[in-house]
Amino acid sequence: MDASQDLIPALLGVTSIHVFGAGLNAERTSHTAVPELRRRGWRVVPVHPRDAGACIDGVPIRGSVEPGTPLEVAVLFLAPERARAQVRRLLMTPFETPPLVWFQPGAEDAVALEWLNDAGWTTVHADCIVLYSERHNLSRGPVDLPWYRQVADEDGSQCSVWTAHKVDEHAAPPTTEVEWVGDLVDLETSTASVPAYIRNLRTDGESLEACALRLSR
């Protein structure tokens, strides 16, 4: 089934697409969707609690949606019961503009869809966002962002290790607790404690990107 062509302006008008369920299992379509959508110019945000801090083709995996960061399109590559739980979390989150919620084939849940429809949110189901973008040849200007990670020190000293990574730079999965991971947009907008602390460490006239790089050395 081809979702409505009315979605084309909406998809071309957003910068970010969050892909829920995208982890390190390379055989899953959620994993391959990340580079495919990235190549078409979107800022892709894979979300997978177990694989947070690792990368998919140089794109960092988040454990959850960063508080305060933009959520424009939520693509659910989840089993129906997990999709319902994620929709419940989204509906409990205050948004100035609710995101478009896209249920990948197999993720559809009648209860979740009813909740979203009752709330007036836009939903899509019975189509694949990757195939949809291919059919309509959707692409936009690329969003190239460095990314960052803070993990617990391996020596058990209760210190933290902050690292800065170039655009699309791959990093091995962390072996200690992930305290925070995100890209420059997350660092600029998240209300979580780690990015807020990093923002406070800027010197006069220093950009946030330069500050984050300085702190990683």
Three-state SS for 171? coil
Residue 11 has pLDDT above 90, yes or no: yes
Three-state SS for 196? helix
Give the ranges where the chain is alpha helix by DSSP (H): 7-12, 29-39, 80-91, 110-119, 129-135, 184-189, 193-199, 208-215
How far apart, in whole angstroms, are the C-alpha atoms of residue 164 and residue 217? Answer: 9
Q: Which among 204, 216, 197, 195 has a CA at the least distance from the CA of 62?
A: 195
Q: What is the pLDDT of residue 156?
A: 77
With bands split at pLDDT 50, 70 and 90, how would you rate the model's confidence at 217?
confident
Q: What is the pLDDT of residues 30-60, one digit of tens each?
A: 999 999 999 999 999 999 999 999 999 999 9
Q: What is the pLDDT of residues 58-86, one digit of tens each?
A: 999 999 999 999 899 999 999 999 999 99
pTM of the predicted model, to two decimals? 0.95
Contact 108, 126 (CB under 8 A): yes
The domains found in the chain, sorted by start residue, are 7-135 (3.40.50.720), 147-215 (no CATH)
Q: What is the pLDDT of residues 86-137, one digit of tens each?
A: 999 999 999 999 999 999 999 999 999 999 999 999 999 989 999 999 999 9
Q: What is the pLDDT of residues 170-198, one digit of tens each?
A: 999 999 999 999 999 999 999 999 999 99
